Structure 1
Amino acid sequence: MSAFEQTLTRRTVLGGVAAAGAAVTLAGTPAAAAAAPASFLPADPLLHLLRRATFGPSPASIAEIRRLGAKAWLDRQLNPSAIPDKVVDGLLTRLPLSGLGITDIRAQVSAGKLKQYSWDPMWQLAFAAAGRAIWSERQLFEVMVDFWSNHLNVTCPYGDVWDSRVDYDRNVIRKYALGSFADLLKASARHPAMLTYLDNRYSTKAAPNENYGRELLELHTVGLAYTESDVLGAARLLTGLTVDHATGKYRYDAAGHATGAIRVLSFQHANATAAGGEAAALALLDYLALHPVTARRIVTKLCVRFVADEPPAGLITALVKVYLDNKSAIVPVLRALFTSAEFAASIGAKTRTPLEDLAATVRTLGYGPATSGTKFLESLYWMCRDAGHAPLFWGPPNGYPDVASAWASPSGLLVRWNFHLSIAAGWWPDTLVRPASLATGMVGVLPATYGALIAAVGTRLLGVAPTAQQTAALAAFYGKTPASPLKPNDPAVGWMFPYLMGMLLNSPSFALR
């Protein structure tokens, strides 16, 4: 078969095999996903949990959850500090700037090792985020880090937080990702990165800046359930929460705090002294974190992330009670969510975002990180950025969207299809650790027929074999039928094998999570 014929055939197959995937991805509605044939995803509840609570099933995670069972696996994931993470630990040693504190970064500037305002630490943090999503054993923790990084977004890289954004990731998002939202909110409110990003560091009693007060209400807590008077009250109460210019660290400046009685929603505080201003601000944050409207917003966002773009109202109501009963602790909410009947019934109701799609691609292939350097991480990051979803890079303060309709475009779908094949074939990145023989590495002993090969690879990568129609189309790509004998020296299990992997990854079975 000529290269021209191969190209034409591949287009035909992509049209037949992936058209349904495009329909699900481009339609972008829960109804479209729910209408997908049951054969698109396996009904296996263990695989369903893996697809939602991780960045995608990997051969190792599938083996682990089958060995442990759903409850023990979930218990383990909800206690991430007890999970060794050797691969990611090794990757982070190649990205030494990604874990530095504010003092460390400034010390490197003073020593001439970094230029002032350098983005290098933030770039390394972003590259690390891609690596963690793919190779961390603490998958649910990393998913929650991504969730909170969006909810309490501080764009990375971003010039004004050059010395604090890396510390924000470590000492706010990661520290409290599986803690209580109240503690997370208070930590973010007193961190230089958030105070700088939303301008509160420049807010004084003489000129209160409303940016952080407004986003605290609208994005971080109660949503649109506020008035302009509430924004002004919050802005006044938050004055004095600032950043020390000399050290770059948080400090409370009593001299800059606006005193006087404050009312925000039903929260009231005398705010009588400047010395007590910080305590008053923290009291407001506690009030907002435990407000029933905040509880509903946080729970709804968790349900959108893990259940459906339009989650069941009954599940939201039940989880709001769990949230409030546990004073905003997140682990009880997650445990109740993942063990709910609504979660079990939600197979096919979510579509992967570009970041999830890329991470899931590497994970399902089972490829390992390059044995040295960071170029492969940078390549993976730029792939995400080409798809519009570079980790941590969202510009506005509301964080990346988490519904299918936000990512629905023909160009976005094409970008995904291209990186499926590039990664599978080892073209880019070209240093990921892959099996010496892709075909036998994927399925072991080669099957006797093309149909059996396609079924085996589909089951290996997607958890479900392609339909008879899809199998016939894939076999036709090689000029064969499903019944055609498969020979060890056939291109289909040699240089053309990556095309089979790529086309399967282009299917709706992989687009859904």
Structure 2
Amino acid sequence: MSSLPQTMTRRTVMGGVAATGVAAALATGAPAAAAAAEPSPAALLPADPLLHLLRRATFGPSPASIAEIRRLGATAWLDRQLSPSAITDQVAEEVVARLPLARLSAAEIRSRVSAGTLKQYSWDPMWQLSWAAVARAIWSERQLLEVMADFWSNHLNVTCPHGDVWDSRIDYDTMIRQNALGTFAGLLKASARHPAMLTYLDNRFSTKAAPNENYGRELLELHTVGMTYTEADVQHAARLLTGLTVDNSTGKYRYDQAIHATGAVRVLAFQHSNTTAAGGEAAVLELLDYLAMHQATARRIVTKLCVRFVADEPPASLITTLIKVYLDNRTAIVPVLRALFTSAEFAAAVGAKTRTPFEDLAATVRTLGYGPAATGAKFLESLYWMTRDAGQAPLNWGPPNGYPDVAAAWASPSGLLVRWNFHLSIAAGWWPDTLVRPTNLPAGMVGALPATYGALITATAVRLLGIAPTAPQTAALAEFYGKTPTSPLKANDPVAGWMYPYLMGMLLNSPSFALR
């Protein structure tokens, strides 16, 4: 195809053929299939450091968050996000309140089972927790907390929904949130003594007679030091972890000294005599503190944070700096994040990250500025299924290692098509059809109708992407409507009515929006 058709029927547009051509044009900066040098990723994004911080420290800039960070400045905005308890979060809390099962403790779930109002092993609470994750990512004012809750939920993954954690997975999410901006040592110890983790990785069934190595291995390989251990380390860790279990009658964590394996253990450089079963839990906590402060753990945690917030291949200089911050602050997360976001390496990383599918969906609703439906939660289910179709339903990764966070893991034509489809569907209000959006989309996005097609395209791009399109990109988009950038724009033109969502969708399909 050498150029886009000059005239198009609604049926053709609905088919998406032209939209695909324009998206390709946006990627190259030239109409249709004309050859052109590929622009650098940084050139596809605004150079504004405030928008760069928003793209990384949130699930995507929204009109409200842009206004807030411009009013506060980067330092005050970051300080506010690092103290989330001081932030009023009315919209997200109201939406999550529509999902009453997503806030239940294990005891409350079991009480409902006893009362006959909830079936034993029901996944309904876990489904509601999954939908709540979508709501919080999109509408929470505590955006950095939500990003870090997602980060730790991947690092200390317990798949949701998952049959064995039917009564404890909700509380596990609560624990993650309570510790997301605390210390990693505190989070690790809370995770190690949580019924969901002990169940998911089989430690609740581990006894001195038959130690189970699953949790001991993942504790070392995934949660802390990485591939620096020996099989002997795993075996000793598994023996020491015996006794950390779950009370079958209550579903709560308990330490059972009767099943704890005593005897000296050595895990890496950690040694403990472990002479009495009564002291087994205290010995485990000593091991966890040791692992949290290990140099290899420090490197693993800060590297993953840098991959999340800076680049798929983060600068070694930044990793070295942050390792020292992590260790000097005894695994406290806030000092590490503050040092990361204020570093020269972070500032220089514009365009170095690509949004994952879940982030793409959340960013879509956020940049559009659409609000939650006035009532009900069906719209959350719809958004959740969109993320699942794209391969990244929140909390739903099956293996214990969590979702990948590099561009190569998500690069596929089918995945891109799913994203393009939900961009248009959400923007146009087709599905979900209950999100609160402007009655007049062009007016809601850019105000008074501009005089030309080019002006409308530019204004919409700046509104949604933060950056104006190049002249060839503007021409390609105008050509989609059979016009040129200088063509006069009339109020009754389709682009100012039913075809305006296609302009929004094509801009959201662009590489500029795909970058985090």
Pairwise CA distance, 1:9: 3.3
Pairwise CA distance, 1:217: 0.0
Q: Does 1:76 align with 2:80?
A: yes
Q: Conserved in 1, the CA contact under 8 Å of 2:243 and 2:260?
A: yes
Correspondent of 2:473 among 464, 470, 474: 470
Distance in 2 of aligned mates of 1:433 and 1:65: 24
The Cα RMSD (Å) is 1.3
Correspondent of 1:174 among 177, 183, 190: 177
Correspondent of 1:399 among 397, 402, 421: 402
Identical aligned residues as a percent: 79
Q: Conserved in 2, the CA contact under 8 Å of 1:443 and 1:457?
A: yes
Distance in 1 of aligned mates of 2:51 and 2:325: 26
Structure 1 partner of 2:203 = 200
Correspondent of 2:102 among 98, 122, 143: 98
Distance in 1 of aligned mates of 2:222 and 2:449: 53
Say if 1:417 and 1:117 are closer, same or farther in 2 by CA, change over 3 A: same
Q: Deviations over 1:98-118 (max 9, x none)?
A: 011010000000011100000
Structure 2 partner of 1:296 = 299
SS at match of 1:282: helix
Pairwise CA distance, 1:12: 2.7
Question: How does 1:84-483 map onto structure 2 within 5 Å?
Answer: 84-170=88-174, 172-483=175-486
Q: Conserved in 2, the CA contact under 8 Å of 1:20 and 1:507?
A: no
Say if 1:11 and 1:263 are closer, same or farther in 2 by CA, change over 3 A: closer
Pairwise CA distance, 1:5: 4.9
**Which piece of structure 1 moves more, 345-354 or 84-93?**
84-93
Q: Deviations over 1:99-149 (max 9, x none)?
A: 110100000000111000000110000000000000000000000000000
SS at match of 2:419: helix
- The residue identity in structure 2 corresponding to 1:14 is A
Pairwise CA distance, 1:92: 1.6
Distance in 1 of aligned mates of 2:443 and 2:96: 32
- The residue identity in structure 2 corresponding to 1:10 is A
Distance in 1 of aligned mates of 2:378 and 2:41: 40
- The residue identity in structure 1 corresponding to 2:134 is A
Pairwise CA distance, 1:15: 2.7
Q: Does 1:9 align with 2:18?
A: yes
Which structure 2 segments of 5+ residues have no match?
1-7, 31-36
Q: How many residues align?
A: 501
Distance in 2 of aligned mates of 1:81 and 1:446: 41
Pairwise CA distance, 1:17: 2.1
SS at match of 1:464: coil
Q: Conserved in 2, the CA contact under 8 Å of 1:448 and 1:486?
A: yes
Q: Deviations over 1:385-407 (max 9, x none)?
A: 00000000000000000000000
Say if 1:158 and 1:334 are closer, same or farther in 2 by CA, change over 3 A: same
Distance in 2 of aligned mates of 1:309 and 1:38: 15
Pairwise CA distance, 1:508: 0.5
SS at match of 2:271: strand
Q: Conserved in 1, the CA contact under 8 Å of 2:82 and 2:145?
A: yes
Q: Conserved in 2, the CA contact under 8 Å of 1:451 and 1:475?
A: yes
Pairwise CA distance, 1:512: 0.3
Distance in 1 of aligned mates of 2:338 and 2:9: 55
Say if 1:93 and 1:243 are closer, same or farther in 2 by CA, change over 3 A: same
TM-score of the two chains, using structure 2 as the length reference? 0.96
Which structure 1 segments of 5+ residues have no match?
22-31
Q: Deviations over 1:253-275 (max 9, x none)?
A: 00000000000000000000000
Structure 2 partner of 1:496 = 499
Q: Deviations over 1:307-346 (max 9, x none)?
A: 0000000000000000000000000000000000000000
Distance in 2 of aligned mates of 1:154 and 1:5: 45
SS at match of 1:242: strand
Pairwise CA distance, 1:3: 3.2
TM-score of the two chains, using structure 1 as the length reference? 0.96
Q: Deviations over 1:338-396 (max 9, x none)?
A: 00000000000000000000000000000000000000000000000000000000000
Q: Conserved in 2, the CA contact under 8 Å of 1:98 and 1:121?
A: yes
Q: Conserved in 1, the CA contact under 8 Å of 2:193 and 2:253?
A: yes
Q: Conserved in 1, the CA contact under 8 Å of 2:203 and 2:212?
A: yes
Structure 2 partner of 1:26 = none
Structure 1 partner of 2:511 = 508
